[in-house]
Structure 1
Amino acid sequence: MSVQKQQAKKVLLVEDEADMCLLLNIMLTGDEMEVDHVKTISAAKDYLDAETPAVVLLDNRLPDGLGIDFISSIKKSHPSTRVIMISGSDGSAKDIALENGADEFLTKPFTKVHLYESVMKQLQ
């Protein structure tokens, strides 16, 4: 009898800070998720032209623009992709991100458990 392994879901991490990227990769990599990483909105656009991740973890402040302004573009081209915005403690950013189509907003700093639960909830 063969046991069929469930395929890992793709998660795209759009984050330019190396330390945060490493930390998020460590927190998320496992059997359920395959994490890919890009550092800019431009690189995220190129990635999304070729792939359809289940979840995009999107930082707000990126070298070539604000992630918050990129959410609607992700949702337009990939309506089934879930977007989790990650940002500092800017309260207005949360409201705007959710209005622009983000499925969830995580305020830095967050715990490993909170991040993992948020991503797993979006993968359901």
Structure 2
Amino acid sequence: MDDLTPLSMMSAPTARRPLLGLTVLVVEDSKFACDALRLMCLRSGARIRRADCLASARRHLQVYRPSVAIIDMGLPDGSGAELIEELSRGTPRIDVVLGTSGDSFTEEVARAAGADGFLAKPLESLAAFQEAILSRLPVDRRPCGPRKLPVDTIKPDPVAYRDDLCHAAEALQGNTSLDYVARFLSGIALSAHDLALQRAADSVTRGRAEGKLLNADVVRLRQLVDARIAREPAI
């Protein structure tokens, strides 16, 4: 079956697989965060499609209409709020549009753009993921009867974290915006519970915002990234 298959031909959602029959478009530049959402979709019965930037997401949307869109607020080619606003005004509207970020202040931005809800990073709770979607679906798209909430904690592949670190290291050496790279690193460090890296990335972000960025802060950030690449498993 493809994404154009009528819902009547798909299996109905069940208590164990409450998102069966749904397609989730994840717009996220972090492979680590994407892997967490992939595992959540897999365990919930949903199919997943992925895009790592606004341009890629819009190409996806020219081909099919997902049931759910989960959009990171900080993307390499713009703010996720742009896409949230487009989708929230689209006709027919996607059933559920959610924003996601490690920055709590962006929840208000996402909702102002038209998001139905918000998933705060780190993305670890399968129950919270399912509830964010199910509570906003039409009643006839939800599983019937009582459902036991899953207690699973999702653990993404550490190789995906290393891939994110390598991407950030290349960006720090290139012409990519330092603001974007620092926010990206802060987000993946939050998801990986890497407090030292998160603090270093946040220091760069603050320095940029206050016009007081020290070269030592950028050097420290690069050193931490390089050290983690050296120790993380590579396949």
TM-score range, shorter chain: 0.7 to 0.9
* SS in structure 2 at match of 1:27: helix
Whether the aligned pair in 2 keeps the contact of 1:8 and 1:31 (CA below 8 Å) is no
Inter-partner Cα distance in structure 1 for 2:89 and 2:61: 11
Whether the aligned pair in 2 keeps the contact of 1:16 and 1:62 (CA below 8 Å) is yes
| % identical equivalent positions | 28
Which of the two has higher C-alpha Rg? 2
Superposition deviation, residue 24 in structure 1: 0.9
Inter-partner Cα distance in structure 2 for 1:17 and 1:84: 17
What is the RMSD computed on CA atoms of the aligned residues?
A: 1.9
Inter-partner Cα distance in structure 2 for 1:34 and 1:46: 18
Provide the residue aligned with 2:137 in structure 1.
123
Number of aligned residue pairs:
120
* SS in structure 1 at match of 2:34: helix
1:53 aligns with 2:59: no
Unaligned runs of 5+ in 1: none
1:84 aligns with 2:98: yes
Inter-partner Cα distance in structure 1 for 2:50 and 2:56: 9
Whether the aligned pair in 2 keeps the contact of 1:55 and 1:123 (CA below 8 Å) is no
Given the superposition, is the C-alpha separation of residues 42 and 78 from structure 1 closer, same or farther in structure 2, using an over 3 Å criterion? farther
Superposition deviation, residue 76 in structure 1: 2.6
Inter-partner Cα distance in structure 1 for 2:78 and 2:92: 22
Inter-partner Cα distance in structure 2 for 1:62 and 1:55: 18
Whether the aligned pair in 1 keeps the contact of 2:73 and 2:110 (CA below 8 Å) is no
Whether the aligned pair in 2 keeps the contact of 1:9 and 1:33 (CA below 8 Å) is yes
Provide the residue aligned with 1:5 in structure 2.
11
Tell me the alpha carbon deviations over residues 10-66 of structure 1, each in whole angstroms, 9 at most, x when there is no partner: 110001111111111011125641111111110111111111111101111111111
Deviation larger for 54-63 or 113-122: 113-122
Question: RCO (CA 8 Å, sep 6+): is it higher in 1 or 2?
Answer: 1
Please identify runs of 4+ aligned residues in structure 1 that moved more than 6 A: none
* SS in structure 1 at match of 2:35: helix
* SS in structure 2 at match of 1:70: helix
Provide the residue aligned with 2:83 in structure 1.
70
Inter-partner Cα distance in structure 2 for 1:27 and 1:89: 21
Inter-partner Cα distance in structure 2 for 1:21 and 1:66: 18
Unaligned runs of 5+ in 2: 1-9, 13-19, 139-235
* SS in structure 2 at match of 1:118: helix
Alignment-mate amino acid for residue 22 of structure 1: D
Superposition deviation, residue 100 in structure 1: 1.0
Inter-partner Cα distance in structure 2 for 1:43 and 1:121: 28
